[in-house]
Amino acid sequence: MGKVIGIDLGTTNSVCAYMDRRDPVVIINAEGGRVTPSVVGISKNGERFVGDIAKRQLLINPEATIHSIKRFMGRRYSELKPHELEMVQYNLVETRNGDAGVEIGDRVYLPQEISAMVLQKLRKSAEDFLGEPVTEAVITVPAYFTDRQRQATKDAGTIAGLDVLRIINEPTAAALSYVHNRKKSSTIAVYDFGGGTFDISILEVDRDLAEVRATRGNNTLGGADIDRRIVEWLLGQFQKEHGIDVSEDKLVLQRLREAAERAKLELSSAHETDIHLPFLLADATGPKHLQCSLSRYTFESLATPLFDQTLEECRKALEECRLGPEDIDEVILVGGSSRIPKVQEMVKNLFDRPLNKGFNPDEVVAIGAAIQAGILEGDVKAVTLLDVTNFSLGIEVEGRRAAKLIPKNTTIPTQKTQLVSTVIDNQRTVKIHVLQGESPNARENVSLGEFELQGIEPAPRGVPRIQVKFAIDANGMVQVSAKDTRSGVSNAVSIEAPTGLSQVEIDELRQEHSNYDERGDESDDLKALRHQIEKQLVSLEGFLRDNRGFLHKKDIFEIEQALKRGRMALLKSSDKGNLDDLSLYLARFFAHLADKTGGGDAPVH
């Protein structure tokens, strides 16, 4: 198949890269940028804009322009903090299953769908750049993402038409960039301060090994929180001058937020910046403007409590791997917020050494993802990645307590088996509540879901021996299986987070979203035809996925060629005749496959 791309799906910006033989290359998007704003605009009639164009409409249409969606991925609405709800102008709502969703007009979008729109744009840029279909990717996530957030990211990739081969942690990706082409072994710290999250990881790296020793972070602490501190200060300035509280005015807030971010960026090089917002508000006494200056000193005093939180995490990470700052050979800075001079000064002082400035903090993660993609493709010499779990995994036991089974910082992949039994005579079912987190109190941890093992052989209580296996795979995702050892019956229990999307829902969304490959000017006929072909391709991909183990190499090759041909035509052709032919060809191809394999579900056409 085609190239596997590496994607850094960021809170503020996203970057996509691939390996050109042994060299990582950042993909340029349609607007000519190396970085694509993770912003999506949705018009009243459902049309969508992604990237720079969407970012530009943030001010004019803040309620239908979605930014920072990564903050809400895989999170329950009830766990969002008030300031997170206030941080955005669009309407966050609770979805049917308790997740946070975005309401625009009469439709509620899941964060996975919004992220899928950003991924779709990146995929399209990659296809245009490489001149071939792109269907596989490695996507990075903050090290501190929970299982549900990882799953949501993977689902977003699938909805965007990508087979997500691996989810890797952002700092681990940064370490891979560091290891690539380097011979020396060292202990490094990756300090990743982005738009919405903060992570610190300590790694041992060698020529062909990157071993994470500890990782900590806060997935609700980033540049947007710094901006918020400035916005609060600006609100105070306005109130002081005009005696008016404008903290409830959405449009004013959006203007303040933009001005705050601009001021923050300027203060990374200047010592003082002027903020001038004419006509911020008008009332009976006339228009009101905001005019003030913000010094770097004031900015630092507003934001230092946040910077302190990041340093506290660094100290704890060092403690967790029993190292002192002097044991760290290099500190690598990642993420836009690590450009702030005060942050650099504080990190430099903590580790007492110069910082490694040889990497572009915006691109180093995507480049690492591309290197991982190259390793999976076999083009790049393998680097053994030994990552760790970032949360403890456990189950709820009597008294609403949490019993830890896999402690945090355990190297992954890993697995652990636990024996459980029944509590009443002839009990046929056991229910297990899986938790992720550090608190001894079950309710203070993240619930990964409950599952049931049914059909246990009747027996007095305590007699059945049910073996429950917990495994964390290389993506950091949790899998659970259970077996009644007496009867030998094993029930395939997959841990279905109560808010997770089922495969069917993901496939439906994928088909729905494939209609919107930014081809707004096409006729309805052509759109319908594309949709039909996309459905045929999804069926064919599903057929290949489910039957790969039973098919001859020659058949696999033929199917891959048909998929490639289909994807390429979808990408390049706008000719109805061509697309009609393609749809017919796919229908016949599947009939031929069904003949060969003795029937099976024919794909839709």
The one among 24, 62, 157, 336 contacting ligand AMP by CB under 6 A: 336
Binding mask 160-179 for ligand AMP (x = CB under 6 A): --------------------
Catalytic residue flag (residue 70) = yes
Sign of the torsion formed by the C-alpha atoms of 217, 219, 211 and 187: negative
The one among 6, 41, 217, 223 contacting ligand AMP by CB under 6 A: 223
195 binds ligand AMP (CB under 6 A): yes
Please list the residues that pair with 292 across neighbouring strands: 275
Q: Which is nearer to ligand AMP, 70 or 288 (CB)?
A: 70
369 binds ligand AMP (CB under 6 A): no
Specify burial of residue 599 (Cβ count, 10 A radius: 0-12, 13-18, 19+).
exposed
467 binds ligand AMP (CB under 6 A): no
Q: Please provide residue 142's backbone torsions phi and psi, each rounded to the nearest 5 degrees.
A: -60, 145
Among candidate residues 3, 55, 70, 288, the one labeled active-site is 70
Among candidate residues 14, 56, 304, 4, the one with its CA nearest the CA of residue 165: 4
Q: What is the DSSP string of 208-236?
A: TEEEEEEEEEETT-SHHHHHHHHHHHHHH
Q: By rule CB under 6 A, what count of residues binds ligand AMP?
A: 17
Pick the stretch among 157-165, 260-268, 456-464, 562-570 that binds ligand AMP (CB under 6 A): 260-268
Of 549-578, binders to ligand AMP (CB under 6 A) are none
304 binds ligand AMP (CB under 6 A): no
The one among 315, 339, 428, 465 contacting ligand AMP by CB under 6 A: 339
Among candidate residues 441, 428, 430, 462, the one with its CA nearest the CA of residue 394: 441
Q: Which is nearer to ligand AMP, 123 or 264 (CB)?
A: 264
Q: Which is nearer to ligand AMP, 87 or 137 (CB)?
A: 87
Q: Please provide residue 465's backbone torsions phi and psi, each rounded to the nearest 5 degrees.
A: -115, 105
Pick the stretch among 10-18, 72-80, 504-512, 538-546 that binds ligand AMP (CB under 6 A): 10-18
Pick the stretch among 7-15, 228-236, 471-479, 503-511 that binds ligand AMP (CB under 6 A): 7-15
- In whole angstroms, what is the distance from residue 47 CA to residue 39 CA? 14
Please report how close the Cβ of residue 125 comes to ligand AMP at its closest, in angstroms: 17
142 binds ligand AMP (CB under 6 A): no
Q: Which is nearer to ligand AMP, 8 or 507 (CB)?
A: 8
Q: Which is nearer to ligand AMP, 272 or 473 (CB)?
A: 272
Q: List the structure tokens of 442.
A: 């079950």
| Chain centre distance of CA 183 | 31
Q: List the structure tokens of 582.
A: 């393609």
Pick the stretch among 72-80, 127-135, 335-343, 367-375 that binds ligand AMP (CB under 6 A): 335-343
Q: 494 CB contacts (<8 Å, ≥6 apart)?
A: 451, 479, 480
- In whole angstroms, what is the distance from residue 149 CA to residue 142 CA? 10
Q: Which helix (H) or strand (E) holds 166?
A: strand 163-169
340 binds ligand AMP (CB under 6 A): yes
Among candidate residues 113, 136, 147, 170, the one labeled active-site is 170
Q: Let me know: does 150 contact 170? Beta carbons within 8 Å.
A: no
Sheet of 414-420, strands arranged across: 414-420, 466-472, 478-484, 490-491
Catalytic residue flag (residue 8) = yes
Residues assigned a catalytic role: 8, 70, 170, 192
Give contact residues for ligand AMP (rule: CB under 6 A).
10-13, 194-195, 223-224, 261, 264-265, 268, 335-337, 339-340
